[in-house]
Structure 1
Amino acid sequence: MFTIESPLLKATIQAKGAELTSLVHKETGIDHMWSGDPAVWGKHSPILFPIVGSLKDNTYYYQGQAYQLSRHGFARELPFAVETHTADAITFLLKHSAETLKVFPFAFELRLTYTAIDDTLGLTYQVSNPAKEPMYFSIGAHPAFKVPLAPDTAYTDYYLEFDQPETAGRWHLETGGLLASASTPLLDNTNLLPLRKDLFYKDALVLKGLRSTQVTLRSASTAHGLRMDFPGFPFFGIWAAVDADFVCLEPWCGITDSAQTSQQLPEKEGINRLAGGESFRRTCTLQLF
């Protein structure tokens, strides 16, 4: 485990998956991250790479070759190297290997940098293509935050507040984690989404095309919560395991397949094309209060 801290927060990250496991506000003593109880959901904040969600038949095709990847890809299960580490920042690095090339035929360098400044933790995702040919990938975040946060509060006391009024449907996940062909109503010119555990009985809420680039987890019953900024992420997922005491707020640059997919990687919805020698970079921040 590795730690970084600022005067107001302390973050703990493990090398496996470069996964954030704890995020404590020093003044309140509250750890905002889900505990990772394996009986419920044994993760805290996995990185999703080189796909987000599921592939139809767990398969995609590139240049006439079939490749298999399981849900959310392989990066979350692999050990990252520590490239740099200071008191308030750490950068983890994962490179392609003979094993990754069997399922993802691209050279890559994946860096995840955590930076602690005052009451805010920054998470910067950088994908670099060291080859001459273009690469195709998706990437996403999947942090799970503890709900309820404070004693004597209930899950239903909490809500999500977007920074813009939203009219957005929920794209359901069907058999095999594939995206439904149409959405159902969820947000109707509102920036508020009250949390209820039954929201997630049919898997994640998948949102496309939000105007918002910020969402706040808060409650009228406590002064404590957190604010996530996620500019540059075109898809957003909200999820919890059945009846679990957490909520995942998931900004994505990529999305799960639909049943109608061609399974051709360059045609995949939300896919990112990265030219040889170029880098892709996105940052989301978590502000504690």
Structure 2
Amino acid sequence: MPTIENNDIRVEVATLGAELQRITGKHTGLEYMWNADPAYWAKHSPLLFPIVGTLKDNTYICEGKEYHLPRHGFAREMEFELYQQSNHTLTFRLVSSEVTSAKYPFPFELYVAYSIAGPSLNVSYRVVNTGEKPMYFSIGGHPAFKVPLFEGDTYNDYILEFNQVENAGRWLLDNGLIEAGTVPLLEDADRLPLRKELFEADAIVLKQLNSTKVRLIQEQTRKGFEFDFNGFPYLGIWAAKGADFVCIEPWCGIADSVDSNQQLVEKEGINVLNAGALFERAWKFAVID
């Protein structure tokens, strides 16, 4: 499996889905990623492209034609090319094909790069429109982190701590689709105590936060990691019911609403990329020890 490491961390990535598999802290001795136990959820960190979340009836309409995509699109189930590798960087590439065009009628090149510096991992997405007309897409991450991180801790010993005070409601989901209103979640608060009950009603969906970073830390020792999602207008927080992990999901895009008209060009959060243009976003993980 393609691997990069330095004196602080070791990172492993699979070519299937260009999916991050492991982050090992060399000083802490910790494995930070969820182990993908199939009894709960058999993924580590799937890539979401060319949609994020669920489409109404798994269907969208583009230029009058219906297309069908499963939740989170197809990239996570496709084999990527290991495009470049150095001591501290891995870059993977997926190029559109007859297989993708049957589901998604836009020529593209998609690059996912993993680079390390000190105790930090930077994960960047680069989308290139290789076609002759505007391209409509969403992209996002879905990394799952082990909770508890430290032996002897419980799930309830951990918090998510944002770098700004938030007043943000939680957008509810109905079979994966965004409902019309919110319920209170963060009220003049910068922290969210982790409880497994939070995810009984599916993911927490947040829009347009003030924060650009969040820390997952043990509340007493304040050890854990920082997650930088600057540039992503939506954030998902999710765990499978009863599982010992939490996903921190930076999104450039969002699921359909329950009243969606299914028109791709009118979809909330859709990104538009002109012919020959380039789209880039990146999130960062950094160990706190």
TM-score by length of 2: 0.98
Q: How much does 1:220 deviate? A: 2.7
Counterpart for residue 165 of structure 2: 165
Map 1:230-249 to 2 at 5 A.
230-249=229-248
Deviations 1:216-253 (A, max 9, x none): 00013445311011111000000000010000000100
The reply to whether residue 7 of structure 1 matches residue 4 of structure 2 is: no
Q: Match of 2:137?
A: 137
The answer for the alignment partner of 1:198 in structure 2 is 197
Asked if the contact 2:174/2:258 (under 8 Å) is kept, the reply is: no
For the residues of structure 1 that align with 2:173 and 2:6, how far apart are their CA atoms?
Answer: 39
Task: Kindly provide the CA deviation profile for residues 33-66 of structure 1, in whole angstroms up to 9, marking residues without a partner as x.
Answer: 0001111100000000000000000000000000
Residue identity in the other structure for 2:105: P
In structure 1, the gaps of 5 or more residues are none
SS in 2 for 1:156: helix
Contact 1:113 1:124 in 2 (8 A): yes
Task: Indicate the residue corresponding to 1:41 in structure 2.
Answer: 41
CA distance in 2, matches of 1:222, 1:99: 49
Which amino acid in structure 2 is aligned with residue 105 of structure 1? Answer: P
2:54 aligned partner:
54
Percent identity of paired positions between Structure 1 and Structure 2: 51
Q: Which runs of 5+ in 2 are unaligned?
A: none
Q: Secondary structure at the match of 1:103?
A: coil
* Number of aligned residue pairs: 288
CA RMSD of aligned residues (A): 0.7
Return structure 1 stretches of 4+ with deviation > 4 angstroms.
Answer: none
Separation of aligned partners in 1, 2:222 and 2:212? 22
In structure 1, how many angstroms separate the alpha carbons of the residues matched to 2:219 and 2:102?
50
1:79-105 CA deviation, whole Å, 9 max, x = no partner? Answer: 000110011101000011101100000
Question: More deviation in 216-225 or 180-189?
Answer: 216-225
Equivalent position of 1:23 in the other structure:
23
**1:150, 1:224 within 8 Å by CA — same for their partners in 2?**
no
Q: Distance in 2 between matches of 1:46 and 1:71?
A: 12
Structure 2 CA distance, aligned partners of 1:213 and 1:118? 21
Once residues 82 and 130 of structure 2 are traced to their aligned partners in structure 1, the CA distance between those partners, rounded to angstroms, is 19
1:123 alignment partner AA? V
